[in-house]
């Protein structure tokens, strides 16, 4: 079963500047820093003011843009197989993200939109 929206990921040119903007100017809270499982770039996971959907910032030189939309699922493999049968193209995974204590897969729709499927372990710092 595909569940609720978990987070939105943005690529940013300078992670430190983006963190300052979202925390200082916009009232987000830093949950954790880490390394992006696919690119190896620096990331930061932020909590939105008032809770709700999280924001993942992924440092990537160049232009800032939407990287992916992440949805929580009960079973990453089953959800990925279902989306593949609907025409999404698998990009990576399923794989385990140690820092997030979560299993994940990344797929892309024909129009280029990327979707991350994620299932957290109960003790995940990202919950």
Q: What is the pLDDT of residues 16-32, one digit of tens each?
A: 988 988 888 678 999 99
Helix/strand/coil (H/E/C) assignment for every residue in the chain: CEEEEEEEEEEECCHHHHHHHHHHHCCCEEEEEEECCCCCCEEEEEECCCCCCEEEEEECCCCCEEEEEEEEECCHHHHHHHHHHCCCEEEEEEEEECCCCEEEEEEECCCCCEEEEEEECCCCCCC
Mean pLDDT of 36-63: 88
Give pTM, 2 decimals. 0.75
Q: Which CATH superfamily is domain 2-120 in?
A: 2,3-Dihydroxybiphenyl 1,2-Dioxygenase, domain 1 (3.10.180.10)
Between CA 104 and CA 36 the distance in angstroms is: 12
52 pLDDT more than 90: no
- Give the pLDDT confidence score for residue 6 in this predicted structure: 87
Cα dihedral across residues 28, 91, 73, 4: positive or negative: positive
pLDDT in tens, 55-99: 999 998 887 888 888 888 999 999 999 889 888 899 998 999 999
pLDDT at residue number 111: 65
Task: Please report, to the nearest 10 degrees, the dihedral formed by the alpha carbons of residues 8, 13, 17, 20 taken in order.
Answer: 0
Alpha carbon distance 92, 76 (integer Å) = 12
121 has a pLDDT exceeding 80: yes
DSSP β-bridge partners for residue 43: 34, 58
């Amino acid at each position: 079963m595909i569940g609720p929206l978990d987070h939105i990921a943005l690529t940013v040119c300078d992670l430190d500047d983006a963190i300052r903007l979202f925390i200082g100017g916009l009232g987000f809270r830093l949950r954790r820093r880490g390394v992006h499982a696919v690119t190896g770039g620096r990331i930061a996971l932020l909590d939105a003011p008032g809770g709700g959907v999280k924001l993942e910032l992924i440092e990537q030189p160049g232009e800032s843009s939407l990287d992916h939309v992440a949805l929580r699922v009960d079973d990453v493999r089953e959800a990925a197989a279902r989306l593949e049968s609907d025409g999404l193209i698998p990009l990576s995974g399923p794989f385990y993200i140690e820092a997030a204590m979560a299993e994940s897969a990344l797929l892309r729709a024909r129009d280029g939109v990327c979707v991350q499927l994620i299932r957290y372990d109960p003790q995940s710092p990202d919950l």
